[in-house]
Structure 1
Amino acid sequence: MKSIKDVRDESGIRIEGIQPILSVKDMSASRSFYKGILGFEEAEWGTDDFTSMNRENAGIYLCKGAQGNPGTWIWIGFDGDISTFYETLKSKGVTIRMKPTNFSWAMEMHVEDPDGHVLRFGTDPNNDMPFVDGAPGA
Structure 2
Amino acid sequence: MSAVNDMHRPLGIYIEGIQVILSVKDMNASRAFYRDVLGFTEADWGNDDFTSMNRENAGIYLCRGAQGSPGSWIWIGFGGDIFQLYETLKARGVTIRQPPVNHPWALELLVEDPDGHVLRFGTDPDTDRPFEA
**Distance in 2 (alpha carbons) for counterparts of 1:49 and 1:103:** 37
2:52 corresponds in structure 1 to: 52
Question: TM-score with structure 2 length normalisation?
Answer: 0.94
CA distance in 1, matches of 2:106, 2:112: 19
Alignment of 1:1-80 (within 5 A): 6-8=7-9, 11-80=11-80
Aligned-pair distance for 1:12?
A: 3.1
Structure 1: runs of 5+ lacking an equivalent: 134-138
Runs of 4+ in 1 over 3 A off after TM superposition: none
**In 1, Cα distance between the equivalents of 2:8 and 2:113?**
37
Give the secondary-structure state (helix, strand or coil) at the position aligned to 2:19: coil
Post-superposition CA distance 1:87-111 (Å, at most 9, x none):
0000000000000000000000100
- Report the equivalent of 1:136: none
Which structure 2 residues correspond to residues 98-137 of structure 1 after superposition, within 5 A?
98-133=98-133
CA deviations over 1:65-98 (Å, ceiling 9, x no partner): 1100000000000000000000000000000000
- Aligned alpha-carbon RMSD (Å): 1.3
TM-score relative to the length of structure 1: 0.90
Q: How many residues align?
A: 129
Percent identity of equivalent pairs: 71
Gap regions ≥5 residues in structure 2: none
